[in-house]
Amino acid sequence: MNTTRTPRIAIIGAGPGGLTCARILQRHGISATVHDHEAGPDRRDQGGTLDLHEDNGQIALREAGLLEDFFRLSRPEGQEMRQMDPAGTLLLHHTPEEGERFKPEIDRGQLRDLLLGSLEPGTVRWSHTLSSVEGPAAGPRQLHFADGTTVEADLVIGADGAWSRVRRAVSDATPRYTGVSFLEAWFHDVENKHPEIAGLVGRGSATAADGDRALFAQRSSGDHIRVYAIQRVPADWIAAAGLTIQDTEGIRALLLDRYRDWSPALRRQLTDNDGHYVDRPIHALPVPHTWQHNPTVTLLGDAAHLMPPLGVGVNLAMLDACELALAIAHHTTVDDALLAYEKTMLPRSAQMQQLLDNGAEGLLGTELPDFADDNDR
**How does pLDDT run across 296-326, given as a tens digit for each residue?**
999 999 999 999 988 789 999 999 999 999 9
Least confident of 70-74, 252-256, 361-365: 361-365
pLDDT at 46: 61
pLDDT at 370: 55
User: In the structure, what pLDDT confidence band is assigned to residue 1 with cuts at 50, 70 and 90?
Assistant: low
User: In the structure, what pLDDT confidence band is assigned to residue 3 with cuts at 50, 70 and 90?
Assistant: very low
pLDDT at 375: 42
**How does pLDDT run across 230-272, given as a tens digit for each residue?**
999 999 999 999 999 999 999 999 999 999 999 999 999 999 9
pLDDT at 357: 84
Tell me what the pLDDT averaged over the chain comes to. 93
The mean pLDDT value for 93-117 works out to 92
Q: Is the pLDDT of residue 22 over 50?
A: yes
The mean pLDDT value for 165-172 works out to 98
Domain coordinates in residue numbering, the chain = 9-78+101-175+285-359, 177-284
The mean pLDDT value for 84-93 works out to 96
pLDDT at 4: 46
Least confident of 40-49, 162-171, 221-230, 235-244: 40-49
Q: Is the pLDDT of residue 373 over 60?
A: no
pLDDT at 369: 60
Q: What's the topology of domain 177-284?
A: D-Amino Acid Oxidase; Chain A, domain 2 (3.30.9)
Note whether 60 and 319 are within 8 A (CB).
yes
**How does pLDDT run across 200-213, given as a tens digit for each residue?**
999 999 999 999 99
User: In the structure, what pLDDT confidence band is assigned to residue 351 with cuts at 50, 70 and 90?
Assistant: very high
User: In the structure, what pLDDT confidence band is assigned to residue 181 with cuts at 50, 70 and 90?
Assistant: very high
Q: Is the pLDDT of residue 10 over 60?
A: yes
Which CATH number applies to 9-78+101-175+285-359: 3.20.180.10, 3.40.50.620, 2.40.50.100, 3.50.50.60?
Answer: 3.50.50.60
The mean pLDDT value for 265-286 works out to 95
pLDDT at 161: 96
pLDDT at 365: 81
pLDDT at 41: 81
HEC states along the chain? Answer: CCCCCCCCEEEECCCHHHHHHHHHHHHCCCCCEEECCCCCCCCCCCCCEEECCCCCHHHHHHHCCCHHHHHHHCEHHHHCEEEECCCCCEEEEECCCCCCCCCCEEEHHHHHHHHHHCCCCCCEECCCCEEEEECCCCCCEEEEECCCCEEEECEEEECCCCCCCHHHHCCCCCCEEEEEEEEEEEECCHHHHCHHHHHHHCCCEEEEECCCEEEEEEEECCCEEEEEEEEECCCCHHHHCCCCCCCHHHHHHHHHHHCCCCCHHHHHHHHCCCCCCEEEEEEECCCCCCCCCCCCEEECCHHHHCCCCCCCHHHHHHHHHHHHHHHHHHCCCHHHHHHHHHHHHHHHHHHHHHHHCCHHHHCCCCCCCCCCCCCCC
Q: Is the pLDDT of residue 366 over 90?
A: no
